[in-house]
Amino acid sequence: MECKHIQEQIIDYLDGILNDNERIRFDLHVNGCKQCKDELLKCEEIIKSLEVESESISIPHNFMGNVRQAVANTQKKKRKTFQRPAIVGIVAALIMTFFIGTAAATKGFTTFTEWWRDFGDKKNEQMENYVQHGLGDYVNVEAESNGVNITVTSVVADDVQTHIYYEIEDRNKENKYMVDFTNGIQIVNQDELVSPEIKPIINNHLGLYSDKSNIYKGRLSIAPLAASEGTIKLKLDKIQKAKETDIGFSRPKDPIEYMEGDWYFEIPIKKNSAIVHELNVETEIEGNPIYFDKLTIAPTITVLSYRFRNNKSDNRINYITIDSLESDGKHVYGSWLDFAGVGITESADNGWGKSEATFESLYYDNPTAIKVHIGSAVFIIQEKADFPINISKAFPQTFDYLGTTISIDKVEVGQSTKIVMTEELNAHRAYEWFYYRFFDKENRSFSKISNVVDGYYFDKNGTKYEASEYDYRMNELEDPVFYSTEHHIELSRDDFEGDVIPARLAIDSYKKTVFYDSVVDISLEEIK
């Protein structure tokens, strides 16, 4: 009966998702049928009431404050079983990528310290340049508390970010202290300075080299100011004890020690406008189109915004790496620590990945044309496989994944179970590393408390290098790709009592990098 059908469509009709034909039929029927019209009006009324009533639900004062407190209490209790993020291996890989970007054929460094000192020198030089060009300022605002002296030395600000350079000196000459940008620091007047949707306001931190054992130098990265100038009122009530090479952008492995105090600064800031170029350039990789949308040239950084579509769902681009931008023969590279580098992929609708690759600044060059050097694309290819693990049988237990032998060498069952897994590495290896999880026999999955991954790099010529040896020497390798060979995994289930007993290794997909030597020419027109 027509009425039944129409009434089933009421919800979609009110949602506005009927197609034109259906809607016309619906309207026609309802106009002539009292029963259905009644039904429609009543539904509309209820929905409207729900929507209106929901508006009147108000959140009690300081609701989030209470929630935060409760969460903090729980965190304190959990400190005893401190969990490490399960990405030790991946963080290492990211640091490598950073090295490739900056060192780039100019110098080789044999130690991390050497590289870091050089990096620090470059930043100092850069700041001098900013000041000379009127883009930055030496502000030198100081505050002292509990024997620790903090100085905000210089600032440079643009439309993308605000950088605040600081130094912390322990007058007692005992410790090195740094800022924890996620805790103990606050911009008192943030609502006046920064657009309300931008969160978090203090979004990154970088440690810089200092040769004195009681002085720490660092740089805070803050969201851009809404207006063209302003004063940042910065308050610190806690600082963190730093270790020798604490860069301060990833989670420390050991519990953090803080020192309390009271430091307050009023920092005058002048924002520099970025030069923005709307691009409309298309290229493609393996049949997947890539659109370059916008190039933002700011004093502190260059941002290239682009989009790519994963047309194929089983072989999708996870991200692309852009090696460098070239302007007039000069190359600029991604500086990951300037919160740049490997594209940060955010997804948009319909399977588009939106990304922003960042590079050293081209501000002084103000180019009229650039070349984008696409280095590689990383694909995540879905290839599922399940391997049973039987802890009552002997180890190692082996399986074959894509022609490679995977071996579970050891399983130590307990509250947090330890597993050692190795992968064969030979000429037939089809993947770089795979994404996997362990399940028990009731199909519950486990989280990884830690996963230390070892392996090898292969460079462009096919030469093999031990990953642990080349940690800080990645710049010596050409186009290195990491292949995992050994995993030391610790599993745990938090909401579950008793031993963690793995019964199955489930592999979901694997990673593959393909290198390209693709250069895209883009001519720039200035936008007013």
Is position 527 an interface residue for other proteins (rule: CB under 8 A)? no
Q: Are 107 and 119 in contact (CB under 8 A)?
A: no
Query: Phi/psi of residue 387, each to 5°?
Result: -125, 125
Give the binding range for other proteins (CB under 8 A) out of 43-51, 229-237, 424-432, 519-527. Answer: 43-51
Residues paired with residue 438 on neighbouring β-strands, in sequence order: 505
Q: Compute the least distance from the CB of residue 210 to other proteins, in Å.
A: 26
Q: Which of 27, 478, 494, 521 is the binder for other proteins (CB under 8 A)?
A: 494
Q: Compute the least distance from the CB of residue 45 to other proteins, in Å.
A: 9
Of 146 and 203, nearer to other proteins (C-beta) is 203
Q: Compute the least distance from the CB of residue 297 to other proteins, in Å.
A: 13
Is position 228 an interface residue for other proteins (rule: CB under 8 A)? no
CB atoms inside a 10 Å sphere around CB 426: 8
Of 188 and 519, nearer to other proteins (C-beta) is 188
Q: Compute the least distance from the CB of residue 354 to other proteins, in Å.
A: 7
Hey, which residues between 442 and 471 contact other proteins (CB under 8 A)?
A: 445, 447-448
Give the binding range for other proteins (CB under 8 A) out of 99-107, 130-138, 340-348, 479-487. Answer: 340-348
Is position 251 an interface residue for other proteins (rule: CB under 8 A)? yes
Q: How many chain residues are in contact with other proteins, going by CB under 8 A? A: 63
- Here's the x/- map for other proteins, 297-316, by CB under 8 A: it reads as ------x-x-----------
Which DSSP symbol is given to 500? B
What is the Cα–Cα distance from 355 to 319, expressed in whole angstroms?
A: 8
Q: Which candidate, 181, 170, 169, 172, places its Cα nearest to that of 236?
A: 181
Q: Compute the least distance from the CB of residue 208 to other proteins, in Å.
A: 20
Of 55 and 517, nearer to other proteins (C-beta) is 55
Hey, which residues between 396 and 435 contact other proteins (CB under 8 A)?
A: none
Q: Are 253 and 82 in contact (CB under 8 A)?
A: no
Give the binding range for other proteins (CB under 8 A) out of 46-54, 139-147, 406-414, 466-474. Answer: 46-54
Place of tokens 């302003």: 230
- Here's the x/- map for other proteins, 171-210, by CB under 8 A: it reads as -----------xx-----------x-xxxx--xx------
Of 348 and 519, nearer to other proteins (C-beta) is 348
Tokens linked to 281: 């350039």
Cα–Cα separations (whole angstroms), residue 468 to 216, 249, 285, 428, 453: 28, 21, 32, 23, 10
Q: Which of 81, 110, 111, 250 is the binder for other proteins (CB under 8 A)?
A: 250
Round the CA-based radius of gyration of the chain to a whole number and report it: 28
First to last CA, the chain: 62
Is position 35 an interface residue for other proteins (rule: CB under 8 A)? no
Place of tokens 């300037």: 338
Of 172 and 445, nearer to other proteins (C-beta) is 445
Is position 252 an interface residue for other proteins (rule: CB under 8 A)? no
Residues paired with residue 418 on neighbouring β-strands, in sequence order: 412, 490
Q: Which candidate, 381, 419, 418, places its Cα nearest to that of 401?
A: 381
Of 295 and 477, nearer to other proteins (C-beta) is 295
Q: Which of 19, 21, 34, 60 is the binder for other proteins (CB under 8 A)?
A: 60
Residue type present at position 94 = L
Is position 24 an interface residue for other proteins (rule: CB under 8 A)? no
Is position 394 an interface residue for other proteins (rule: CB under 8 A)? no
Q: Which candidate, 372, 343, 141, 366, places its Cα nearest to that of 273?
A: 366
Q: Compute the least distance from the CB of residue 511 to other proteins, in Å.
A: 14
Of 50 and 514, nearer to other proteins (C-beta) is 50
Tokens linked to 367: 């180019």
Is position 496 an interface residue for other proteins (rule: CB under 8 A)? no
Residues paired with residue 266 on neighbouring β-strands, in sequence order: 233
Cα–Cα separations (whole angstroms), residue 186 to 89, 119, 198, 490: 32, 28, 15, 36
Q: Which of 25, 33, 37, 85 is the binder for other proteins (CB under 8 A)?
A: 85
Q: Compute the least distance from the CB of residue 441 to other proteins, in Å.
A: 19
Is position 120 an interface residue for other proteins (rule: CB under 8 A)? no
Cα–Cα separations (whole angstroms), residue 320 to 304, 305, 383, 395: 12, 12, 21, 39
Q: Compute the least distance from the CB of residue 351 to other proteins, in Å.
A: 10
- Distance, C-alpha 251 to centroid of its chain: 13
Tell the burial category of 116 from Cβ atoms under 10 Å away from its Cβ (0-12, 13-18, 19+): middle
Name all contacts of 145-150 with Cβ < 8 Å and 24+ positions apart.
145/261, 145/262, 145/263, 146/259, 146/260, 146/261, 147/171, 147/172, 148/177, 148/239, 148/259, 148/261, 150/236, 150/239, 150/263, 150/265
Q: Which of 137, 323, 356, 360 is the binder for other proteins (CB under 8 A)?
A: 356
CB atoms inside a 10 Å sphere around CB 100: 21
Interacting residues toward other proteins by CB under 8 A: 8, 10-12, 15, 42-43, 46-47, 49-51, 53-54, 56-57, 59-60, 63-64, 66-68, 70-71, 74-75, 83, 85-87, 159-160, 182-183, 195, 197-200, 203-204, 223-224, 250-251, 294, 296, 303, 305, 339, 344-347, 354, 356, 437, 445, 447-448, 494, 508
